[in-house]
Amino acid sequence: MGQKLGQHFLQNKEAIEKIVGLVEPRRGELIVEIGPGEGALTIPLAVVCKNSEARLIAIEKDRRLAGKIDFAEVIVGDAIKDLAEIVENYQLPATGYKLVGNIPYYITGKLLRTIEGLRPRPVKTILMVQKEVAERVSAIAPKMNLLSSAVQVWAEAEIIFTLGAKDFLPPPKVDSAVIVLTPKKNIPANLKNYYALIKRIFASPRKTLVNNLLANSALRREEVEKVLEKAGIEVGARGQNLSLDQILALEKLLY
């Protein structure tokens, strides 16, 4: 069943210890593990949480696997659908909560959007994801992209370490990476407008920024070029060349 749900179970004990170390549970804190699988990460997490007087909850979609975990509180559910409700219904401590998980890689994009929408957001998120996706999430100019700009507007993203296929069972066809997301205290943008803008910026990566902004727009070329000049962006630039600050400047100038 785990394979049907896209799960690849982490076998590398050193990597597991590193992830547990990244969680750093504190007294009274809530730790939510997404997709505990067979419990390779959950078992050491449960020990550390007990020692630090933190609370551990695991969300597992596979009922068969969930039934095997008797050393932590388990919720049978779908993190994409149920995470917001769980956060809303649990009495969160003043220290907040953290998310951690070796997730099925195909849900990464949806899960990141889910986390962005959580209120409050987790004070720290540690995820095992496909290495290529981790690199896209943490990318900066000249490799800026839709995913990096969508995540970095609300969180700092950092790749901590990478793993090969041999570290998992069954082995995936791709390399993996552990990425840490730390939410920003203040988001200097209207997110609705910002997300609409980055979809325009990265609609056709090979086109110049000017041409992407002109598409389906009432703006004239000279108006767009003037906006770019105000934002300190070269007229011939492409979306990948932009810094986050430049995208934020465009959001303020265009909306």
pLDDT reported for residue 95 = 86
- Whole-structure pTM value: 0.92
> Which residue type, as a one-letter code, is found at position 18?
K
- Listing from the earlier edge strand, what are the strands of the sheet with 73-76? 73-76, 55-60, 30-34, 97-102, 124-130, 176-183, 155-163
Say yes or no to pLDDT of 5 above 60: no
Which residue spans of the chain are classified as CATH 3.40.50.150?
A: 9-183
State how far the alpha carbon of 234 is from the alpha carbons of 29, 147, 238, 252, 255, in Å: 47, 22, 9, 18, 20
Residues of the chain with CATH 1.10.8.100: 191-254
Q: Which CATH number fits domain 9-183: 3.40.50.150, 3.40.1640.10, 3.30.565.10, 3.40.630.10?
A: 3.40.50.150
Domain 191-254 CATH superfamily: rRNA adenine dimethylase, C-terminal domain (1.10.8.100)
pLDDT at 1 over 50: no
**Annotated binding-site ranges:** 8, 10, 35, 60, 102
CA–CA gap between residue 123 and residue 121 (Å, rounded): 6
At 101-141, the pLDDT tens digits run 999 899 999 999 999 999 999 999 999 999 999 999 999 99
Detail the residues annotated as belonging to a binding site for S-adenosyl-L-methionine: 8, 10, 35, 60, 102
